[in-house]
């Protein structure tokens, strides 16, 4: 019965979508999965595009200068399966979120792959494993 | 780190279980895509339309992302991938059993069998897939890589296949009016030109006039413009058994049967897929890619 309970709980979280995934390049080919960067900033824009959603995170440095990071994450169909929307990923206007991400392997600055996003209310999106 | 995850997910998971328990006690529907569900649906009567099997409907086949098993907790937290199992929680329920293959379909080899003189080309294309695979650049994936249609609209004279693919929204218009010849002066295309016919209760779709920009599957599985793809769709109750066979004798040793599917009817309507816009490939430092054969 307990197994059945968890199964129902998981099933309840699943949104039906019919989109099909293409073959795609490896995340490890683009991002250094052995390194992790933690950012605090405001999501200024979410590009709800395939094959990967990209969010823009405005991060204020110690010198007060704001730098915008471009952060890739899961395809839209996967986000939908988890019940995530452009709005839920963006958070409230001006909300400071914490993002754990992997940096680009080719040295491109301010480019990363989202691992987790934690919002001011404590909710946390784990998007790419640990 | 582990302790932090346990502290975070355990109370929430317990809470979620409590919330869903009443529903669980009454929930009887087998999991989406499970063999049990497909058995129930295939046992139903097969609807007919003008004497032919009625293929109309929106059809689910788990969309190729059946491996995604998200968890969503009451505090709004969501884990899409790599989710840590809550401490003390029951073991995760295994993914739904694979849909049974049509009895007539032989097991699908993972890769087409190429003539020896083309193996080096396949190897080279595969090694450079990030550069050479148009499917990675938001182009139509071609057949059979596109997989089964997400929705079918059927009239007495034509059948329309609709797709909401990660690479875009695609359609195919397939005449079933008895014609034997393909349209003339049509440019070669990603999804080709199709003619359909019913053989008993099976819709057979033969497609030619492809360009050679697409692959049959991952890893350099190129084809020529002489490719012919034969798809068979057999409605069984509220399911459709779908197979596709690729014929390209100039480069293949034998016709290739790609992965067969069992689709089942769903009330979940197709959606316009998000715009496909690759922003990644220019930043890939090596040729690594993951396989996701359709």
Give B97-138 pLDDT, tens digit per residue.
Answer: 455 444 445 556 789 999 999 999 999 999 888 889 999 889
In a domain? residue A48:
yes
Using the Cβ of A105 and the Cβ atoms of chain B, whether some distance falls under 8 Å is answered with yes
Window 83-142 of B, Cβ < 8 Å to A: 83-84, 89-93, 129-130, 133, 135-136, 138, 141
Is there a domain that residue A8 lies in?
Answer: no
Whole domain around residue A119: which residue ranges?
A: 27-126
Rounded to a whole number of angstroms, the distance from the CA of A63 to the nearest CA of chain B is 29
**pLDDT above 80 (res A3):** no
Q: Would you call A96 an interface residue with chain B, using a CB distance cutoff of 8 Å?
A: no
Smallest Cβ–Cβ distance between A81 and the set B21, B70, B218 belongs to B70
Whether residue A16 lies inside any domain: the answer is no
Query: Looking at the domain assignment, is residue A51 inside a domain?
Result: yes
Torsion sign (Cα): B132, B137, B140, B143: positive
In this complex, is the C-beta atom of B16 within 8 Å of any C-beta atom belonging to chain A? Answer: yes
CATH number at residue A75: 2.40.50.140
Q: What gap in Å lies between CA B277 and CA A58, rounded to an integer?
A: 22
CB B245 within 8 A of CB B230: yes
Residue B28: its pLDDT value, please? 66
- Which residue in B has a C-alpha nearest to residue A76's C-alpha? B274
Q: Are strands B78-79 and A124-126 parallel, antiparallel or unpaired?
A: parallel
Contact present, B101 and B262 (Cβ < 8 Å) = yes
Instruction: Note the pLDDT of residue B105.
Output: 52
Q: Where are the alpha helices (DSSP H) in chain A?
A: 2-13, 76-81, 86-90
Closest Cβ opposite residue A29 in set B69, B78, B289: B289
CA dist A89 and A86 (Å) reads 5
Beta-ladder partners of A102: A113
Count of the separate structural domains present in chain A? 1
Count of residues making up chain A: 130
Pairing of strands A111-118, A66-72: parallel
- Here the contacts of B43-49 (C-beta below 8 Å, separation 24 or greater) are B43/B237, B44/B237, B44/B238, B45/B237, B46/B201, B46/B235, B46/B236, B46/B237, B47/B235, B49/B154, B49/B156
ipTM: 0.74
* Per-residue pLDDT reduced to its tens digit, B19-37: 444 444 445 678 778 889 9
In the structure encoding, which two tokens stand for residue B188, read together?
Answer: 């070669």
Pairwise CA distance, residues A37 & B122, whole Å: 38
């Amino acid at each position: 019965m307990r197994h059945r309970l968890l199964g129902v709980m998981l099933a309840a979280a699943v949104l039906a979508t019919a989109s099909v995934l293409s073959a795609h390049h490896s995340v490890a080919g683009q991002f250094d999965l052995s390194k992790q960067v933690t950012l605090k900033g405001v999501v200024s824009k979410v590009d709800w595009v395939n094959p990967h959603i990209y969010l823009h995170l405005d991060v204020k440095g110690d010198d007060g200068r704001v730098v915008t990071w471009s952060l890739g994450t899961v395809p839209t169909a996967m986000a939908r399966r988890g019940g995530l929307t452009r709005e839920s990923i963006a958070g409230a206007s001006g909300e400071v979120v914490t993002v754990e991400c992997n940096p680009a392997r080719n040295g491109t600055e301010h480019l990363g792959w989202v691992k987790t996003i934690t919002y001011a209310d404590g909710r946390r999106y784990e998007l790419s494993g640990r | 780190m582990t302790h932090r995850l346990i502290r975070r997910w355990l109370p929430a998971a317990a809470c979620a279980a409590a919330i869903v328990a009443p529903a669980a006690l009454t929930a009887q529907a087998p999991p989406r895509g499970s063999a049990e569900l497909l058995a129930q649906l295939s046992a139903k009567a097969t609807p007919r339309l003008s004497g032919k099997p009625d293929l109309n409907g929106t059809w689910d086949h788990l969309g190729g992302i059946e491996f995604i098993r998200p968890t969503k907790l009451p505090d709004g937290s969501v884990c899409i991938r790599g989710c840590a199992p809550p401490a003390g929680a029951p073991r995760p329920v295994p993914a739904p059993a694979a849909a049974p293959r049509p009895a007539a379909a032989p097991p699908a080899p993972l890769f087409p069998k190429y003539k020896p003189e083309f193996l080096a080309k396949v190897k080279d294309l595969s090694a450079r897939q990030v550069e050479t695979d148009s499917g990675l650049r938001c182009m139509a994936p071609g057949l059979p890589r596109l997989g089964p249609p997400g929705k079918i609209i059927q009239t007495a004279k034509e059948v329309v296949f609709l797709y909401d693919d990660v690479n875009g929204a695609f359609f195919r218009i397939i005449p079933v009016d008895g014609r034997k010849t393909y349209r003339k002066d049509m440019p070669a295309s990603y999804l080709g030109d199709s003619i359909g016919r019913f053989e008993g209760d099976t819709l057979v779709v033969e497609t030619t006039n492809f360009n050679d920009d697409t692959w049959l599957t991952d890893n350099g599985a190129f084809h020529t413009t002489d490719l012919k793809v034969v798809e068979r769709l057999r409605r069984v109750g509220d399911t459709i058994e779908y197979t596709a066979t690729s014929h390209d004798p100039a480069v293949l040793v034998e016709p290739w049967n790609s992965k067969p599917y069992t689709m089942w009817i769903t009330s979940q309507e197709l959606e316009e897929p998000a715009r496909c816009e690759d922003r990644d490939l220019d930043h890939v430092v090596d040729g690594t890619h993951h396989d996701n054969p359709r």
